[in-house]
Chains A and B, each alone.
Chain A
């Protein structure tokens, strides 16, 4: 089955600095890689996703990169703000397993004012 590892488990950065969260996946047939953000006490929400035919995708201060050869993908947040403080989950989906998402274990990001 699909296995997704996520690092680091916690991350603390100064406001304005960049944050990077990394994930690796086990199955080379994975084809869809979303990132979800979960604020304290709230539901997870999609913030960005990337498909296997794309190497990088940006949306304002966030970007995701995908390295299919190495089977890893990363979330980059630039110019971090206190409202970026949350838990971030990566996930991977493989069509042959019914497109079910397998989530990483999450990264708790704290942005210090």
Chain B
């Protein structure tokens, strides 16, 4: 498995609280992504990054922000969590843009917002 870890792996929080999920890679891959997985919706892209301090929005970015201050770390922040953000979040990395190569996923972070 590619060297990619997510933390925390499980989190329960209350509506309105801030939450940060961390993705750490040891592969030195340029591209990093955050997806959420929900039944009936598959995997949907939240935000992605082409490199340090270079990020862009995906299809479901409302309510989320990201930061990438180092190549190896990509943080996903929910400024004020809502119940609709209860989901499993996957970080992914790729050496090249996804039009050309494989996405390697982390193990996922299960977030429950009460």
Contact = CB atoms under 8 A, between A and B. Distances in A.
B43 interface: yes
User: Size band of the A side of the interface?
Assistant: 20 to 34
A95 B40 CA distance: 26
Contacts of A101: 45, 98, 103
A105 B41 CA distance: 5
Contacts of B42: 6, 89, 103-106
B99 A99 contact: yes
Contacts of B58: 100
Interface in B41-57: 41-45, 48, 56
A93 B99 CA distance: 6
Most B CB within 10 A of own CB, among A49, A94, A98: A98
Contacts of A44: 43, 90, 103, 105
Nearest to A95: B99
A32 B100 contact: yes
